[in-house]
Structure 1
Amino acid sequence: MPLFRALDEQAEAKARPRQRSLRNVRSTGSCRRNHDDDRVLSLARLCLLSLADNMKDLWVKDYADNYLDQYSFRYIMGPFNQLPGELVEELTWLLAIRKQLSRAALHLLLVPHLRGLSLERCPGLVTPALCAHIAARCQGLRSLDLSGAQQLQPKVLCETLSRLPAVRSLSLAGMPCDGSVIQTVSRCCGSLQHLNVSRCHLLSPAALLPLGGVAFNPSFSSTPSPLPLSNLSALDIGFGEQEGDSVMTAAYLLLSLPYLERVALEGLGPACRLIEQRQFSQADEFADREGVSRLHVVWRDRTRRQGMDGRRKMREAEWADDDDDDDGDEREESESPSSAGDGCDTEDLTNDDRPFCFKTEEGVSQSGLILQLRDVEGVTCESLGSLGILCPGLTSLSVNIDRHGDAGGRSQWPLLTADLQNWSGQLQSLSLIYSGPMVDLLPALQVAGCSLISLTLEGVKTSPHTPLLELIRVCPKLRHLLISAEPPAAPQYETDDNLQGDQNLPKLPDLRSLKLSFSYEHDQMKPLMSWTSLKEIIKCLLIGSPLLEKLSLISLPCLLNCALQDALHSVNLDADLHADSTGSRPLPLGRIEHVDLLRTDVQMSTVKSMIKLSKRLKYVDVSHCWRISQREWLDCRRFRRVKVVWV
């Protein structure tokens, strides 16, 4: 294996035709994506799997034995330099998920044309020495994920990021990242669009201000430009910071980052309310302490830019209409956009302290500003009103509902339902964190459920009378359903009359992933089986969701094994009825790839039936299933294509 300190330009030029041909091969399939219509692996994936299987015994062994600790190479000319960067990225990802990625393998895979590198699954490999290699060899990186790497000091991070000017997506979640790292990012990564610094406890909220170009720094000759961030996640940061800093920081970032579409920030909800009600004086003390411009100045600049953009678009639309006019008549209206009936006076447009007027279906925002947010995480019910005015285009929302607020949480339900009405018909993803009964959420879901593709309920309480059936009915388009709940406290009398008749059975034909997870006491061997009707609901969901790929049923308070057996029996009957059919309608459970059945009464015979039914199944977790013995688990080793986990 030839090794050189510099990349040979002639060798690189000879490799280009080969790279193009491999890209054409890769277009037939990807190792990250599963094929819906056939089970034949693509040529690209077969090649990558072969490379992964031979890495340790061939290339990695040779490099580790002869070069790893003896030399330090700026570049390594090896077999992977002739692969397209996309395939090298996928090979790295494949080795990581198979836990086969090593320091020597990383050295070989850090090729100059690599554009994406994710080490989230192996943070232990991320060391200062490796970061030096990344900075020296992969200066064209556009995506870098170092989440969870605890052994890197902020100084090392700064040195690495200062040499990666092309990076557009950066994840430093859970790392010892501080304000100096943010300053380096804002100064050196001018193309950054996605940033994740959640769980960085050394990072104070105010340290994020340089991202928007509003931080004061005497060494700068001029005010730095804001980053073109469209995605910012900074939850659970900073310890012991002054109260209110997160709200003020969020307000500054919302106003100074014009391209934000997805945001997860502490204090986001109160910041939206502050902006919408124009209570800018509340941030004066914060601005003086941090040495930044007053918040009303930042708001004025943002609304002025938005007004200019709005008038330009109106002018362009007006010119386009004139170009389409074949009659040649002179325009009867002035070219000034202020006379286009937008509700703003011409005098308002000449006043720098007043914004251009923006209309929404609900009216004009008091602040005169419309944010372009599409995905918001970390707000409460009290902020939804202001959020609905500032962000009329929202499609994804995560709300933390305080059960004890507003007289025990009862008076907030009409308000929550009314606020969700602002996005009715367009909201695609909804996450509700609530520690009260699930039945309380039903009115809100009846408003927003018709368009939902993804629904997450966390922390809810259940009983045998929980209207899970009604919840499913009001969300007919769901592709992802995740419910993390507390089980019923004790057995109660219940009837299953509401499940009689096929017309009442829940069906989610587009469902791809289903997760029902119930909490449990660690001193209990098995959950309390107190929700008997849940078994029928699960059976009907499995039968009515033929596209299901991932199934997680954890600590269920019902007899799951019977539900699975009934579903499998129904599938066998359906297969017999359609044996002579020429159609290709998918059978229920036929596309399952990943199954988690932890702490349930499932039996190994049921698991084997699922394995035989689905040729796509790769992983089954039956840990702590008390009806499965070690001998039965060992017998499953003959299913080599499926990994079965049991403890």
Structure 2
Amino acid sequence: MPLFRALDEQAEAKARPRRRGLRNTKGTKSCWRTRDDDPVLSLTRLCLLSLADNMKDLWVKDYADNYLDHYSFRYIMGPFNLLPGELVEELTWLLSSRKQLSRAALHLLLVPHLQGLSLERCPGLVNPALCAHIAARCQGLRSLDLSGAQQLPPKALCETMSSLPALRSLSLAGMPCDRSVIQTVARHCLLLQHLDVSRCHLLSPAALLALGGVVSSSSSASSSSTSSPLPLSSLLALDIGFGEQEGDSTVAAAYLLLSLPCLKRLALEGLGPACRLIEQREFSQADEFADREGVSSLHQVWRERMLGQSSERWMMMRGEESTDNGEVESPLLEEDGCDAEEDLIKNLWPFCLQIQTEDRMKNLSQSGLILQLKDVKGVTCESLGSLGNLCPGLNSLSMNIGKQGPLLTADLQTWSGQLRSLSFIYSGPVADLLPALQVAGCSLISLTLEGVKTRADTPLLELIRVCPRLRDLLVSAEPPATPQYETIDNQLDDQDLPKLPNLRSLKISFSYEHNQMKPLMSWMSLKEVIRCLLIGSPLLENLSLISLPCPLNCIIQDTLHSVNPDVNPDADSSGLPPLPLGRIEHIDLLRTDVQMSTVKSLMQLSKRLKYVDVSYCWRIISLENLCKLSANFRCRKIMKHAKQITWQ
């Protein structure tokens, strides 16, 4: 039985040393995950699984029955205080992923040396009482994710944030977060590097200015309207509330671009027009906004940013160190007043030139400012030129291009050879995007196309050819508007098919009418594209093919037949590359004609397969057959919605 004890505030347990080199860089989950084809799990992993299995019936039951609603503990001294913080974090993720995390379990797992806590999978547990426990027990937290906790009022959120000064990463996406929360974060979380406030509809664009030290004079005791900015390198704030005026999002974005010099990742409405405003130095457009919010003029913020940039460049070139009072002995800083503005710009040019190639400097903005952004979301075609001039080092771009797909090519030329990730929301045909992809595709490792239209002659094979390095490909499309019952008489030989040898994740989904459970099988040439991707991507791990307007079962069978050892005896030779579909871990085949025998063959081929979703596959006769497969093979989970569906 665990021992629970109320402690004095000064008797905090010391944080145990973190085990470096074992963390998963993509998130907090599965810190000690072993390879799925390893014959034996690690002892650490087995112990965590055992803890997760026994939490409810042992420790949680004892605490819930005897202590949960009877006492209020400042700290709980129990068995989990003996675990390193990373193991407690991993155990919390295991319980939440299994939907076994409860209020009582969280009370036990909130240990003082915990440094990462994610409650994104169980937002219903987040309430003011739990946040009070987090603030009291886990003041050393470096990462906190409360995304989706709708029932937490801003006042409770402010009280929590004021007690977590060590935070480096904070996610409040989809929460009732308002201006007071942002101001609290700006005052108390001085080490914050990542902030996600996406879908916070109570949050106006102007409220974000506090993050850059640009605060309203009414909310500051000091006569100055500026303070130190947070060291944010990542800010995600798409789909937040509206401002008082239509252009507030653009002006607020301009303020943030100038006042947060460490930004490398930004998702924000108005980002593109803000770049154009800064590049053309149309600062007078922000005067009404500055007067209304009681903040410094945008022109003044720009001058301060340029002075800071000039001092950094001067130190880089001269190797001079700052003086005791933090100022740099530079002639550029001796200038003052509007008359010296043009001289300031001229003096900045050599320092900007030092870090840019000659060809890109031809397109530098007249503002002389170079932003450090690497990853941006929320821009449109109209502002790509200004974005390219201010952000020549960009390597990830997500944009809504409306109906201007053919105009992309020239603007993307700025980042030719350096873009790694590209995402388009486009309501036109895929063919319109091909010229742009021919410019940027050679370096892409991730490509997303959302909302595109397709037809029989859509050049999907050519798209694959121009993006040979892809690791992730996601296409969300509308099926052909008219039936295309063409056939392929002369199929390409396997050697002639384009290949994506590095592809790990593939998702191709088509929209469908809700009253039509079976897609219209009308696009026969799509079979060749799917076959090309399955055969030419032997490292594929995640496969999602949803509502395909063509037969899929025969494609998978052909792929399996091409690598069947009985047909191809050399398929398993150690000198050959991995077999197609041999490394699959996750499969979604919703609303396709896949058959039970095909699913069984996939399970036999891949020893790593853990998850199969065959929901609404009309050729899957009964759930009983799926349960038999789950018992006989290594598939961990098969969705229970799969069933026979009838229609007219």
Superposed pair shares fold, TM > 0.5: yes
Name 2:4's counterpart in structure 1: 3
Q: Report the counterpart of residue 263 of structure 2 in structure 1.
A: 260
Q: Which residue of 1 aligns with 2:646?
A: none
Moved more, 629-638 or 618-627: 629-638
Q: 1:283 to 1:34 in 2, by over 3 A?
A: farther
Q: Measure, in 2, the Cα distance between the counterparts of 1:398 and 1:201.
A: 22
| 2:493 maps to which of 501, 516, 527 | 501
* Residue 227 (structure 1) aligned with residue 227 (structure 2): no
Alignment match, 2:626:
633
Residue correspondence of structure 1 range 53-202 to structure 2 within 5 A? 53-202=53-202
TM-superposed CA distance for 1:257, in Å, is 0.2
Q: C-alpha separation between the residues in 1 aligned to 2:500 and 2:566?
A: 18
Q: Is this contact kept in 2: 1:25–1:43, CA < 8 A?
A: no
Amino acid at match of 1:534: L
Query: In structure 2, what is the equivalent of residue 316 of structure 1?
Result: 319
Residue in structure 2 matched with residue 362 of structure 1 by the alignment: 361
Which of the residues 235, 240, 244 maps onto 1:237? 240
Match for residue 644 of structure 2? none
In the alignment, is the contact (CA less than 8 A) between 1:26 and 1:43 conserved in 2?
no
Structure 2 counterpart of 1:270? 273
The answer to whether the 8 A contact 1:636-1:644 is kept is no
SS in 2 for 1:81: helix
Of the three residues 512, 535, 545, the one matched with 1:543 is: 535
TM-aligned CA deviation for residue 492 of structure 1: 2.2
Residues 210-221 of structure 1 aligned to structure 2 (within 5 Å): 210-218=210-218, 219-221=220-222
CA shift at 1:146, angstroms?
0.3
Q: Which residue of structure 2 lines up, in the alignment, with residue 41 of structure 1?
A: 41
Counterpart residue number, 2:462: 470
CA spacing shift, 1:640–1:503, aligned 2, 3 Å: closer
- Pair 541,282 (structure 1): closer, same or farther in 2 beyond 3 Å: same
Would the aligned equivalents of 1:465 and 1:494 in 2 still touch at CA under 8 Å? Answer: no
Cross-structure match for 1:303: 306
Instruction: Provide the residue aligned with 1:484 in structure 2.
Output: 476
Q: Could you say which residue in structure 1 is the equivalent of 2:287?
A: 284
Between the aligned partners of 2:529 and 2:191, the Cα distance in structure 1 is: 49
Partner of 2:388: 388
Distance in 1, Cα, partners of 2:251 & 2:296 = 12
- Structure 2 unaligned residues grouped into runs of 5+: 322-328, 333-338, 642-648
CA pair 599-297 structure 1, distance change in 2 beyond 3 A: same
Q: How many residues are paired up?
A: 610
Question: Residues 249-272 of structure 1, C-alpha deviation per residue, up to 9 Å, x if partnerless?
Answer: 000000000000000001000000
8 A contact 2:214–2:259 mirrored in 1: yes
The alignment partner of 1:601 has SS state of coil
Counterpart code for 2:172? L
Pair 350,539 (structure 1): closer, same or farther in 2 beyond 3 Å: closer
| Aligned-partner Cα distance in 2 for 1:277–1:25 | 47
Residue 139 of structure 2 aligns to a residue in which SS?
coil
Instruction: Check whether the contact 1:349–1:355 (CA below 8 A) recurs between aligned residues.
Output: no
What is the alpha-carbon distance in structure 2 between the residues aligned to residue 529 and residue 362 of structure 1? 52
Give aligned-pair identity as a percent: 74
Letter in structure 1 aligned against 2:5: F
Displacement, 1:348?
A: 7.0
Q: C-alpha displacement at 1:30, in angstroms?
A: 4.8
Tell me, what secondary structure is at the counterpart of 1:401?
strand
Amino acid at match of 1:550: N
> Partner amino acid for 1:261?
K
Using the TM superposition, give the Cα deviation of residue 576 of structure 1 relative to its aligned residue in structure 2, in angstroms: 4.8
Runs (5+) with no aligned partner, structure 1: 319-334, 339-346, 404-408
Amino acid at match of 2:412: L
Task: Give 2:510's aligned amino acid.
Answer: F
Match of 1:532 in 2: 524
Contact kept? 1:348, 1:354, Cα under 8 Å? no
CA distance in 1, matches of 2:517, 2:274: 46
Q: Which runs of 4+ in 1 moved over 6 A?
A: 7-11, 22-27, 335-338, 347-350
Give a deviation string over 1:116-135, Cα, whole Å, max 9, x none. Answer: 00000000000111000000
* Secondary structure of 1:557's aligned partner: coil
**CA offset digits 1:540-589 (Å, max 9, x no partner):** 21121111111100000110111111111112148952367344742221
47-56 vs 244-253, which moves further: 47-56
- For 2:597 and 2:525, locate their aligned partners in 1 and report how far apart those are by CA, in whole Å: 23
- The structural deviation recorded for 1:509 is 0.6
* Alpha carbons 1:247, 1:271 under 8 Å: kept: yes
Letter in 1 for 2:418: Q
Distance 1:462 1:350 in 2: 52
Equivalent position SS for 2:612: strand
Q: Within 5 Å, which residues of 2 pair with 1:547-558? A: 547-558=539-550
- 1:66 deviates by 1.1
Paired with 2:426 and 2:227, the residues of 1 have a C-alpha distance of 41
Measure, in 2, the Cα distance between the counterparts of 1:32 and 1:522.
42
Q: CA deviation at 1:65?
A: 1.2
3-state SS of the aligned residue for 1:443?
Answer: helix
8 Å Cα contact 1:436-1:461 kept in structure 2? yes
- CA deviations 1:327-350 (Å, max 9, x no partner) are xxxxxxxx9999xxxxxxxx9799
Q: Contact 1:348 / 1:355 at 8 angstroms: preserved in 2?
A: no
| Partner deviation per Cα, 1:270-323 (whole Å, 9 max, x = no partner) | 0001001111111111111111111111111101101110111111299xxxxx
Give the TM-score taking structure 2 as reference length: 0.89
The one-letter code sitting in structure 2 at the alignment partner of 1:300 is R
Structure 2 residue 637 is the aligned partner of structure 1 residue 643: yes
Q: CA deviation at 1:26?
A: 8.5
Q: 1:9 to 1:226 in 2, by over 3 A?
A: closer
Q: 1:443 to 1:7 in 2, by over 3 A?
A: farther
TM (norm. structure 1) is 0.89
Q: Which amino acid is the alignment partner of residue 555 of structure 1?
A: S
Which whole-Å deviations, capped at 9, do the CAs of 1:42-87 have from their partners, x for residues lacking one? 2222221111111111111111111111111111111111111111
